[in-house]
Amino acid sequence: MAVDSMNSVLRKLQPLAAAVALTLAGCGAGAPGEAPLAGARIGGPFTLTDQNGKQVRDSDFAGKYRIVYFGYTYCPDVCPTDLARIGAALRTLDKQAPGIAGKIVPLFISVDPERDTPAQLKQYVGNFHPRLIGLTGTPQQIAQVAKAYAIAYMKQPTPSGYLMGHTEVAYLMGPDGKPITSLPLEKDSPAIVAELEHWVR
């Protein structure tokens, strides 16, 4: 039943996801060597709350590259798989290229603020990487930041509660807050490492 419910959510999200995909695809038509998402209208200012209950603004990360991933802690499969790959990639860079790793801040933004309290986020993000920052906020704050990052999400009730269907993407944002590329979550962590090594200067 839960799988059927999630499939229903994803079907409802398909039109918006397709529009987002078209937007992103159009951004990759630049000159060779240009960032695939150069010029895309992705990102923007936000004020959210981290896993320690501290207010966090996008400007707090100025000068750092950011990996921005939207999901939720009760996600049964997709989010933990993606975050495990991102975490593994960052641990590889921590060992092999600490200079690059030190320039990257990984962010996990919840699309389920109803359940994802700072305490819940703190317990969750620690499973993937010690520098992973979990962010939550009011439903209005989450809706605003999701819109800025072209993320669609939708609640779908299930017999045991609800699931959240959401766009699956991890953006690499530059030190200026502008989008660079999306990371290859469908591949393994070495592919993510290679992408980070290519773009992080």
CA distance 87 to 107: 11
The pLDDT of residue 22: 38
Q: Which domains does the chain have, with CATH numbers?
A: 2-29+48-199 (3.40.30.10)
* Eight-state DSSP code of residue 111: S
Asked if residues 13 and 167 have their Cβ atoms less than 8 Å apart, the reply is yes
pLDDT digits (tens, 9 = 90+) for 31-51: 557 999 999 999 999 999 999
3-state secondary structure of 162: strand
* Eight-state DSSP code of residue 30: S
* Eight-state DSSP code of residue 45: -
Is 27 labeled as ligand-binding? no
Which of left, alpha, beta for 3 (phi over 0: left; psi -120 to 50: alpha)?
Answer: alpha
The pLDDT of residue 185: 97
The pLDDT of residue 29: 39
- In one-letter notation, the amino acid at residue 41 is R
The pLDDT of residue 33: 77
Asked if residues 140 and 165 have their Cβ atoms less than 8 Å apart, the reply is no
pLDDT digits (tens, 9 = 90+) for 131-178: 999 999 999 999 999 999 999 999 999 999 999 999 999 999 999 999
Band of residue 25 on the pLDDT scale cut at 50, 70, 90: very low
pTM score = 0.85
